[in-house]
Amino acid sequence: MHLRRTGLLASAAIAATLILAPAAPPALAQTPPGVLAIGQIAEPKSLDPAAVTAANDFRIVVNLYDGLVRYADGSFEIEPALAESWEVSEDGTVYTFTLREGVTFHDGTPVDAEAIVFNFDRMLDEEHPYHDTGPFPLSFFFSAIEEVEAVDARTVRFTLNEPYAPFLSNLAYPTGLIVSPTAVAEHGADFGRNPVGTGPFRFESWDANTAVVVVRNEEYWDGAPPLEAAIFRPITDANTRVAEMLSGGIDVMVEVPPDSVSRFAESEDFELYEQAGPHLWFLILNAKEPPFDDVRVRQAVNYAIDKETLVENVLQGTAEVASGPIPPAFAWAYNEELEPYPHDPERARQLIEEAGATGSTVTMFVTEGGSGMLDPVPMGTAIQADLEEVGLDVEIETYEWNTFLAQVNPGLEGKANMAQMAWMTNDPDTLPYLALRSEAMPDNGGFNSGYYSNPEVDRLLQEARTATDQEERARLYKEMQEIVHEDAPWAFVANWKQNAVTSAAVDDFALQPSFFLLLHDVTKE
Amino acid sequence: MHLYIAKRLAALVPILFGLTLVVFFIMALIPGDPALAILGAYATPENVARLNAQLGLDESLPVQYLTWLGNLLQGDLGRSYSLNRPVLDEVLERFSATLILAGAALVLCTIFGLLAGIVSAVRQYGLADKAVTLLVLVGISMPSFWLGLLLILFFAVELRWLPASGMYAIYGGGDLPDLLSHLILPAATLAAVATGVVARLTRSAMLEVLRQDFIRTARAKGLPERRVIYVHAFKAALVSIIPVIGIQAGFVLGGAVYIETVFQWPGIGRMLVQAISTRDILLVQGGVLVVAASYVLINLLVDVLQSLVDPRVKA
C-alpha cells in the first residue's frame, strides 16, 4: 500500500511540474554581455599557428595573432598588419618589410625583425633550436623562401629562390602568423597550449575538451576590441550544437547543418550569415582511360549533372553552382564571363553517343565525409542518377575519408573513372597549380589524379605564379579558366557558402571569404 | 580469497599485453596514416614522408611497438600528436569524466531498476507491474542517442531547466551543483537501457524467490510483509542480480561513447573515436589500456561481491 501511494504522489508531482512549468523561464548557462560564446565543431589540436591545419583551429588563432600582412575585410586583397609597408624587387624575388613601430607581443616581447626571422627559421630550418616544437605540416607554404634576414630592428628581408606571386597571400594565411619567440623558448613543445601573439585577444585558458578562453588585448595596435572575452567551445555533434544555440548556451555557431538553416533564418531571435568561400567541390575525371579520355564525354558529364537541384535540394542552399576551377571568392582572379555548364541531358546524351560511350560502366569514388566534402553520399547518388539518365552506368564505391584520400591521391588509373574532391585555398594559384598541371601528376607528388594535361594551361599557370603584377596575374588566370572550362578535366559542381548563426544580442559580426572568424569588431549586448 | 584476487590481477598483464598488440596492428592495418589525416588535401607523398619522419612514424612497425612498450614500462605513454600533449594526462582526465558519468548512470539504474523490479514482482499483473513493464520495454527499445536528443530538446531547449551539453558551465560554474546539473541528462539517458534490464531481471528473480518455501515459512512466522520482501526475498534474489549489474557496468562504460558525443561529455569514449579517426595510435593505445583494465577490474569486483553475498559461490 505504502509503495503505491508514493508512486502516485511522485507521478502527480511530475505531472504538476510539467503543466505548471513557466512559459518563458530564464535561460541557463548564458554568458553575460561582452562575453561571446562560440560553438566550434571540434577541440583544437593546438594554438600554435605554424602547427595547425584545420579551419576549426584557424578560427581561434586568427584572433590571437597577426601576420606581417592580412586580408582586407571582405576580400582576399592584401593589406598591412605587423608590417606597415613593403617593397618587392623588380624580379619578384626579394621582399622587404618595414615593421610597425612599438608593437609588442602579449608577454611584452617587442615585435622586431629578429622575432620575424625567428618565426620563419623555426618553421623552415631543421637546425633551428626550436624546430622540434613542430611538426609544421604546412611549412611548404613558405618553401620558396631562401633566406630571411633582419636588416635592422624594423626591417626584415625575405629572399625567394624564384618569383612566387602567392607569397604575400601565404603570409596572410594562419601558417604565416607571428608567435612570440620568448614564449616559444619558455614553453617549448607546449607552446601550442600556451600561445602568445600580438592579436586583438590574449590567451587566457584552455580547459581540455571544454573551452578555450581569450580576453581583450587592451593594447592592441589596431584598437582594443569591444568584446571583453570570447569562449570557444568544442561541440562535435551538429544536433547538439543546434540545441546549444537554441537554448542560449552559445552566442555564435559555425557550420550550421543544412537542415537547421531555415529554422534560424526564420526566427527573430537569431541572425543567419552566409558567405561564399574559396571552396570548390568537383569530380575528378580520369582522362587517361576510356570513356573520359574523350573530351566530349567529360563535357557530357558537366552537362548531365543537375547542379541547381544538387545545391538547392541536397545541400539546401548552403552552396552555389560552380562554373570553373577558380571560385568566385577570389574576386580579382575570377572570370565573370564564364557560365556554369547548363543542365542539358539531351546534349549530354548526344555527346556520349558521338563518342561511342553510351552504356559504358564508370566507377565513382565517393567518401563518407571529410573536410569541405559537404554531403558526399547523397551528392554521389544524385550524380549517379543524373549520369544514368544520359547513358552512363555508374558504380559507386564508398570510402572513409582517410582511406579515400589514400586511394585518390596516388591517381585514379586502374581504380576508378571519377572521384569526388573538394579544396579550400587562400590563393587562386594553389588548386590549379597543384592539381591541373602536367607536372603535377601523382607520381611527381602532385594532385593531378585525373591526369589532365594541356601545355597552354601549364604555361599560363607558371606565368601567373611568377608575375608580380596582380592585374597581369588576373588576366592569365582568366584565360586559364576558359581553357579548363572547355577541356572539362573535372565536373565543376559547387562552391560552398560558409554559414554562421548568431543570437540577436550579437552585432557587427561578419563572415570573411577566407572563412576566418574575426572577432575584432564584434559586440554583444 | 587474497590469493584469488592476486591471481586475477596477475592475469591482467597478459590480457593487456595481448590487447595492445592487437590494437596496435589493427591500427596499422587501417588505410591512411596520421600524416595523411593532418595534411588532408595537401598530402603529397613528399609532404607525408617529411611529416611522418617528424612524427617518428618512419620506423618499422615492430620497432614502433617495442619503443612504445619500453616507454610504457617506465610509465610513459608517449605524447599524442593530434592533441599535442602527454597521453597520460589526456587519458586520466577523460577517463575520470567517463567514470563520473558511468558511475552516476550505474547508481541510477541500480536504484530505479531494483525498485521497479521489486514493485512489479510484488504486484505481479497489477497496474504497477503493467506500467513498469511498459516503461521498461520503452527504455530498452529506444536508441539512447535519440533519447538523449529528445531530453535535450525538452529540458534544455524548451524548458531551459538544464544545460544542453558539456560537463561544466563555460562561464562561472565549476562547482558540484554545476556538475550535477550537467550530469542529470546524460546519466539518465545512459541509465535508461540498463535500468530496464535490471528491472526485468529483478522482477523475475524476485518472483522465483517469492515462490520458495522459506518465504512461506517467513510469512507463517508472522513477519511483516515488508520485512519478508526486503530482507528475506530480496537478499536471496540479489545473488542473481549482482552479476547482471556487473554486466551493466560494462555496458554503461561502452554506451558512454554515444552519450558522450550527444552531450559533449569530455569522456574517454569520445576521445577514442576521435583518436581513431585521426590515426593517433599512442592515444588509442593509452585509452584502450585504461578501458580494458577497468573492465577486467569491474568483473573481478563483481565476482568478489557475489561470493560475499552468496557463500555457495567460491571465490
- Total residues belonging to chain A: 525
CB pairs below 8 Å between A and B: how many? 173
Q: Are B152 and B237 in contact (CB under 8 A)?
A: no
**Measured between CB atoms, does A405 come within 8 Å of chain B?**
yes
Q: Specify whether B136 is located in the same domain as B253.
A: yes
Q: No. of H helices and E strands in chain A? A: 15, 20
In the chain, the amino acid numbered A32 is P
Facing residues of A422 across strands?
A281
Q: Specify whether B114 is located in the same domain as B55.
A: no
Compute the distance between CA of residue B37 and CA of residue A402 in angstroms, rounded to an integer.
6
Q: Test B31 with A447 for CB contact under 8 angstroms.
A: no
Helix H or strand E encompassing B16:
helix B2-29
Q: Specify whether B108 is located in the same domain as B41.
A: no
C-alpha dihedral sign at B283, B97, B200, B236: positive
Q: Specify whether B212 is located in the same domain as B278.
A: yes
Q: Specify whether B233 is located in the same domain as B161.
A: yes
Closest A-chain CA to B128 = A4
Compute the distance between CA of residue B277 and CA of residue B283 in angstroms, rounded to an integer.
11
Compute the distance between CA of residue A321 and CA of residue A336 in angstroms, rounded to an integer.
14
Compute the distance between CA of residue A117 and CA of residue A99 in angstroms, rounded to an integer.
12
For the record, the C-alpha cell of B257 comes out as 561513447
Cα A20 to the chain's mean position, in Å? 48
Q: Give A357 to chain B, closest Cα distance, Å.
A: 31
Q: Are A189 and B86 in contact (CB under 8 A)?
A: no
In DSSP notation, A74-121 reads TSS-EEESSEEEEEE-TTS-EEEEEEPTT-B-TTS-B--HHHHHHHHH
Q: Give B114 to chain A, closest Cα distance, Å.
A: 13
Compute the distance between CA of residue B160 and CA of residue A103 in angstroms, rounded to an integer.
45
- Angle at Cα A223 formed by Cα A222 and Cα A227, nearest 5°? 125
Q: Give B12 to chain A, closest Cα distance, Å.
A: 30
Question: For position A23, what pLDDT does the model report?
Answer: 37
Measured between beta carbons, the chain B residues lying within 8 angstroms of A237 are 261-262, 264
Residues 6+ apart with CB under 8 A from B239: B306, B309, B310, B313
Closest A-chain CA to B97 = A209
Is B66 a member of any domain? yes
Which of B84, B152, B274 lies at the smallest CB-CB distance from A240? B152
Answer whether residue B174 shows pLDDT above 80: no
Compute the distance between CA of residue A203 and CA of residue A504 in angstroms, rounded to an integer.
26
Compute the distance between CA of residue A180 and CA of residue A438 in angstroms, rounded to an integer.
41
Q: Which residue has the higher pLDDT, B24 or A380?
A: A380
pLDDT (tens digit per residue) in A272-303: 999 888 999 999 999 999 999 999 999 999 99
Facing residues of A524 across strands?
A506
Q: Which CATH superfamily is domain A279-498 in?
A: Dipeptide-binding Protein; Domain 3 (3.10.105.10)
- Angle at Cα A354 formed by Cα A348 and Cα A359, nearest 5°? 70
pLDDT (tens digit per residue) in B87-132: 999 999 999 999 999 999 999 999 999 999 998 998 888 888 999 8
**CB neighbours (10 Å) of residue A305?**
27
Residue with cell 557496468: B249
For the residues A207-229, what does the mean pLDDT come to? Answer: 94
Q: Which residue has the higher pLDDT, B82 or A244?
A: A244
Compute the distance between CA of residue B313 and CA of residue B315 in angstroms, rounded to an integer.
6
Answer whether residue B236 shows pLDDT above 50: yes
For the residues A310-336, what does the mean pLDDT come to? Answer: 93
Positions of E strands within A310-424:
319-321, 361-367, 393-399, 418-424
Q: Which residue has the higher pLDDT, A370 or A411?
A: A411
Measured between beta carbons, the chain B residues lying within 8 angstroms of A231 are 170-171
pTM over 0.90: no
Q: Specify whether B46 is located in the same domain as B116.
A: no
Is B17 a member of any domain? yes
Residue A176 burial (C-beta neighbours within 10 Å; 0-12, 13-18, 19+): buried
Helix axes B144-151, B234-262, angle to 10 degrees: 70
Cis amide bond preceding A291, omega within 30: yes
Measured between beta carbons, the chain B residues lying within 8 angstroms of A56 are none
Compute the distance between CA of residue A514 and CA of residue B16 in angstroms, rounded to an integer.
47
Residues 6+ apart with CB under 8 A from B123: A3, A4, B129
- In 3D space, the residue among A146, A113, A178, A493 whose CA is nearest the CA of residue A323 turns out to be A493
Answer whether residue A85 shows pLDDT above 90: yes
Between A36-50, A257-271, A503-517, B161-175, the lowest mean confidence (pLDDT) is in B161-175
Answer whether residue A28 shows pLDDT above 70: no
- Angle at Cα B7 formed by Cα B6 and Cα B13, nearest 5°? 95
Q: Specify whether B29 is located in the same domain as B99.
A: no
Q: Specify whether B40 is located in the same domain as B149.
A: no
Answer whether residue B155 shows pLDDT above 70: yes
Q: Which residue has the higher pLDDT, A161 or B298?
A: A161
Q: Which CATH superfamily is domain A65-193 in?
A: Dipeptide-binding Protein; Domain 1 (3.90.76.10)
Q: Give A423 to chain B, closest Cα distance, Å.
A: 7
Cα A172 to the chain's mean position, in Å? 14
Question: For position A98, what pLDDT does the model report?
Answer: 97
Question: For position B19, what pLDDT does the model report?
Answer: 85
Which of B82, B93, B170 lies at the smallest CB-CB distance from A231? B170
For the residues A185-211, what does the mean pLDDT come to? Answer: 93
**Measured between CB atoms, does A262 come within 8 Å of chain B?**
no
Q: Give A466 to chain B, closest Cα distance, Å.
A: 21
Is B80 a member of any domain? no
**CB neighbours (10 Å) of residue B225?**
11
Residue A12 pLDDT class (50, 70, 90 cuts)? very low
For the residues B213-226, what does the mean pLDDT come to? Answer: 87
Residue B37 pLDDT class (50, 70, 90 cuts)? confident
Question: For position A317, what pLDDT does the model report?
Answer: 87
Question: For position A218, what pLDDT does the model report?
Answer: 96
Could you tell me the residue range of the domain that residue B247 belongs to? Answer: 87-314
Residue B156 sits in a domain whose CATH number is 1.10.3720.10
Q: Which residue has the higher pLDDT, A244 or B306?
A: A244
Compute the distance between CA of residue B130 and CA of residue B141 in angstroms, rounded to an integer.
16
Answer whether residue A215 shows pLDDT above 50: yes
In the chain, the amino acid numbered B138 is V
Compute the distance between CA of residue A160 and CA of residue A153 in angstroms, rounded to an integer.
21
Q: Give A84 to chain B, closest Cα distance, Å.
A: 31
pLDDT (tens digit per residue) in A354-397: 999 999 999 999 998 877 888 899 999 999 999 999 999 999 99
Measured between beta carbons, the chain B residues lying within 8 angstroms of A434 are 44
Closest A-chain CA to B148 = A240
Question: 3-state class of A151 per DSSP?
Answer: strand
In Å, the largest CA–CA distance within chain A is 97
Q: What is the domain partition of chain A in residue ranges? A: 65-193, 279-498
Which of B119, B163, B262 lies at the smallest CB-CB distance from A29? B163
Q: Which residue has the higher pLDDT, A120 or A468?
A: A120
Answer whether residue A16 shows pLDDT above 60: no
Q: Are A437 and A446 in contact (CB under 8 A)?
A: yes
**Measured between CB atoms, does A7 come within 8 Å of chain B?**
yes
**Measured between CB atoms, does A21 come within 8 Å of chain B?**
yes
Which CA distances in Å does A112 have to A63, A80, A84, A178, A181?
A: 20, 16, 13, 11, 11
- In 3D space, the residue among B151, B93, B231, B307 whose CA is nearest the CA of residue A43 turns out to be B93
For the record, the C-alpha cell of B276 comes out as 581513431
Q: Specify whether B296 is located in the same domain as B155.
A: yes
Best residue in B123, B165, B283 for a mutation probing chain A (most A CBs within 10 Å): B165
Compute the distance between CA of residue B237 and CA of residue A197 in angstroms, rounded to an integer.
64
Residue B314 pLDDT class (50, 70, 90 cuts)? low
- Angle at Cα A302 formed by Cα A298 and Cα A303, nearest 5°? 115
Question: 3-state class of A394 per DSSP?
Answer: strand
**ipTM of predicted assembly, 2 dp:** 0.77
Between A358-367, A456-465, B168-177, the lowest mean confidence (pLDDT) is in B168-177
Q: Are A464 and A473 in contact (CB under 8 A)?
A: yes
For the residues A88-96, what does the mean pLDDT come to? Answer: 93
Between A169-178, A441-450, A485-494, the lowest mean confidence (pLDDT) is in A441-450
Compute the distance between CA of residue B171 and CA of residue A69 in angstroms, rounded to an integer.
34
Is B78 a member of any domain? no
Question: For position B5, what pLDDT does the model report?
Answer: 82
Compute the distance between CA of residue A71 and CA of residue A515 in angstroms, rounded to an integer.
11
Answer whether residue A62 shows pLDDT above 60: yes
Specify the number of domains making up chain B.
Answer: 2
Question: 3-state class of A493 per DSSP?
Answer: strand
Q: Give A474 to chain B, closest Cα distance, Å.
A: 24
Q: Specify whether B34 is located in the same domain as B91.
A: no
- In 3D space, the residue among A279, A274, A257 whose CA is nearest the CA of residue A422 turns out to be A279
Compute the distance between CA of residue A476 and CA of residue B226 in angstroms, rounded to an integer.
90
Q: Which residue has the higher pLDDT, B86 or A10?
A: B86
Question: For position A29, what pLDDT does the model report?
Answer: 53
Q: Test A209 with B32 for CB contact under 8 angstroms.
A: no
Residue A5 pLDDT class (50, 70, 90 cuts)? very low
- In 3D space, the residue among B101, B182, B198 whose CA is nearest the CA of residue B140 turns out to be B198
Q: Which residue has the higher pLDDT, B248 or A320?
A: A320
C-alpha dihedral sign at A42, A45, A47, A50: negative
**What is the percentage of chain A residues whose pLDDT exceeds 70?**
94
Compute the distance between CA of residue A165 and CA of residue A466 in angstroms, rounded to an integer.
6
For the residues B183-204, what does the mean pLDDT come to? Answer: 92
- Angle at Cα A495 formed by Cα A490 and Cα A499, nearest 5°? 155
Question: For position A253, what pLDDT does the model report?
Answer: 94
Q: Are strands A523-524 and A229-234 parallel, antiparallel or unpaired?
A: unpaired
Q: Specify whether B139 is located in the same domain as B281.
A: yes
Residue with cell 591541373: A436
Is B121 a member of any domain? yes
User: Considering chain A, what is the average pLDDT of its residues?
Assistant: 90
Question: For position A14, what pLDDT does the model report?
Answer: 41
Q: Specify whether B38 is located in the same domain as B91.
A: no
For the residues A238-257, what does the mean pLDDT come to? Answer: 90
Question: Chain A 426-455, CB below 8 Å of chain B: which residues?
Answer: 434, 445-447
Which of B40, B82, B156 lies at the smallest CB-CB distance from A45? B82
User: Considering chain B, what is the average pLDDT of its residues?
Assistant: 86
For the residues A461-482, what does the mean pLDDT come to? Answer: 93
Of the three residues B17, B40, B73, the one that is the final residue of a domain is B73
**Measured between CB atoms, does A371 come within 8 Å of chain B?**
yes
